[in-house]
Chains A and B, each alone.
Chain A
Amino acid sequence: MTTSRSAESSHVTNTLARSRLGTAAVVFFVMAAAAPLTVTAGGATSGFAITERTGIPIAYLAVAAILALFAVGYVAMSRHVVNAGAFYSYVAQGLGKPAGVGAAFIAVLAYNAMQIGLYGGFGAVLAGFLGDRFGISVSWWACALAGWAIVAVLGVLRVDLNGRVLAVMLLAEIAVAALFAVVMVANPAESGFTFSALSPGFLFSAGIGAALVTAVTGFVGFEATVVFSEETRDPRRTVARATFIAVAVTGLLYGLSAWALTVATGPDKIVAAAQEHSTELIFTLVQPHVGQFVVDLGHLLFVTSLFAALLSFHHTVGRYLFSLGREQVLPAVLGRTSRRTSAPKAGSITQSTLALLVLLGFAAAGADPIVHLFFWVTVSGGLGVLILMTLTSAAVIGYFIRDRRGENVWRRLAAPVLATVALGWVLYLTIDQFAVLLGVDPASPLRWLFPASFAVTAALGLLWAVLLRAWRPEVYDAVGLGANAAAANPFGLSTPLVTEGSRA
């Protein structure tokens, strides 16, 4: 093994290093996917309105802390596994292959839910904006379908938004969100300036699980830093630093912005205000103080931020389906890519088809785009990602128990154990209080429907793993090994190759 340090004077290493990513680039890639304005203007306000909990701001900060803890072990393990972009390969290598296939199925469902749910927000916000500012009356689903068509085409062509465009949009979003927060804090409600929504006491109050999973949903996307681990200048440090920066910046932004909302309305009135104005709340609150131009800019960035998130999650699903198709856990056709553009064609089309069916279903049923599609479906996706993170955190412990691989006790044991306990606690609270999260009666069958869908998916995954072991042992053996899996490669040798990882 050559380390980057000993190879400093190597022409090969230096040439390769020149095209690699630094910390800032990785942070931009993942934060743009997390789309800050989507969360501060859409997620937080819907969270207040639907869960009727005032503790959302402190929930964002608490979740940021838990995720930072989770990231310690996660990033440590990412240095040792191939196919580092996918949660299921961690689970397969840490908790066993059946659990890995189960996790893979959960991941496909969860990221699809995240992506499809966002169409509700995109459609409703765009329709509202067009109606208010231009007097064009279109239904939310028409806007959502227009967004869907663009994402479907860009997905097959593999057009990512240009990195520089994303960076500018991201900085503008952060600036607008921060400006709005400052304006709201500077103009508190009659009840006066108060920190009460940041009181840690909320973390132990009833119904906090709903607030916590809302917060988790806002962070989904940060885990993508490890996808770039092979492309960074210094894999040992760049990815870790980028992950922590992304979690810290988004956590502070979300927490303070949600807190600013409670200051501007008064903590006792935030729920009523959010229910009245929905995703317009933040704009309504700042409008008297900043003028129409900034509010329009904010609206526009809200729409583009939703779109960036849509495209990013579309690519995430495509990537998962590609990985699974390549390992032949799912039909091998999903592992096909477009020759000229390298788009995971089949995976992209599958995702788009599914999204279209769900969108048409919601439109036909006359469901509310913000409550039923945007909030319910994305937080269910957030629940799925929470399950995945809990499993992954446990997998990190399992992985390093067998072999320490030179990681210290904090990274391989202490932090993962703490993170697993914390994530497990959040998961328990969430499922226990899912009725609060959906804003439905505790006796409603809906409260079990969403969590049960993940349980059924996981069970199907386990069953599929057992069948694979019986029917296609060579595929089963390769689960979670990515490109180095012999089954995934037409040149796979009958004797195993030395595959100590491509970043050796």
Chain B
Amino acid sequence: MLADDFFRLAHDDVTGRPRLRPKAVGIGCAAALLTELVNTRHITVADNRVTVVNKQPPADSLAHVVLDQLIAEAGREHNVRTWLAFLAGQAPEQVAHRLLRAGHVRMEAVRRLGRQTGVLYVPLDMNVAARPWALLSHSLRRHDPLDYESLCLAGLALATGLDAFLLDGAPAATFDYLRQAVGTLCPPMRELLFHTHAAIGDAVLAHRT
């Protein structure tokens, strides 16, 4: 699943610590969940709106939950940024729990000064966890053509700022290749990623503690 791969990409394959700031992980996971629904043709993104085009229940239970939320408020015409902000609050945990149910991660308490302050989802098999990063990084560095799923993942990485990690030390031509490759995504995906990138950029400006 795409959101699983994004979650793995956004977290350390050994320790499970995030590679991005929390806000960007949230918005990125939200965008990844919407991408899954775009790819299964349940929703489409156009004119700054998320529109449900197929109300059939998706096979995956988490995708089902997200789709139900989209259907419930379809009449309110929330824009893409509102949906991203809303889903961002719950998306990382939802995706982590999907990985947990599938037996890919285990929960570990984060303690600070003797008190539990959070939870880490530590991968059980670092080879599985590092796989999305390794494959995508390798293909991009070789300028290989990407399949559709990888292209979506590359787009999410670029939108959330993970490209610097993904292509660490690569020449500028590789970054250009990434930009050019994601430019070939379908318009709904590009619009979704456009708003993802903008939302993360705006979060920098309105930073507060």
Contacts and interface: CB of A to CB of B under 8 A. Distances in A.
A12 B187 contact: no
B165 A339 contact: yes
Q: Determine the main DSSP class of A at the interface with B.
A: loop
Interface stretch (B51-59, B70-78, B109-117): B70-78
A312 to B, nearest CB: 12
Contacts of B208: 21, 29, 160, 163, 228, 231
A322 B205 contact: yes
B190 interface: yes
Contact of B205 (A158, A319, A493): A319
A16 B205 contact: no
B182 A322 contact: no
Contacts of A489: 194, 197-198, 201
A97 interface: no
A133 interface: no
Given A484-B198, A500-B48, A231 B206 contact: yes
Contacts of A484: 198
Contact of B82 (A12, A19, A340): A12
Given A227-B206, A319-B205, A498-B48, A491 B194 contact: yes
B73 A12 contact: yes
A162 B198 CA distance: 26
Contacts of B191: 491, 493, 497
A490 B197 contact: yes
B130 interface: no
A482 B159 CA distance: 16
Interface in A451-492: 482-484, 488-492
Interface residues of A, number: 49
B134 interface: no
A499 B48 contact: yes
Contact of B155 (A13, A319, A491, A499): A491
A491 B190 contact: yes
A275 interface: no
A342 B21 contact: yes
B90 to A, nearest CB: 8
Nearest to A341: B21
B70 to A, nearest CB: 10
Contact of A490 (B69, B79, B86, B179): B179
Contacts of B23: 342
B158 A490 contact: yes
B38 interface: no
B177 to A, nearest CB: 12
B77 A339 contact: no
Given A12-B86, A490-B182, A483 B201 contact: yes
30 contacts: A11-B73, A12-B73, A13-B76, A16-B89, A161-B209, A228-B208, A231-B206, A319-B205, A326-B201, A335-B201, A337-B161, A339-B165, A340-B19, A340-B20, A342-B23, A482-B202, A483-B198, A483-B202, A489-B194, A490-B159, A490-B182, A491-B191, A491-B194, A493-B194, A497-B191, A497-B194, A500-B48, A502-B81, A502-B199, A502-B202
Q: Which 8 A-B pairs give the minimum distances between C-beta atoms?
A: A483-B198, A491-B194, A502-B81, A498-B48, A491-B193, A12-B86, A342-B21, A160-B209
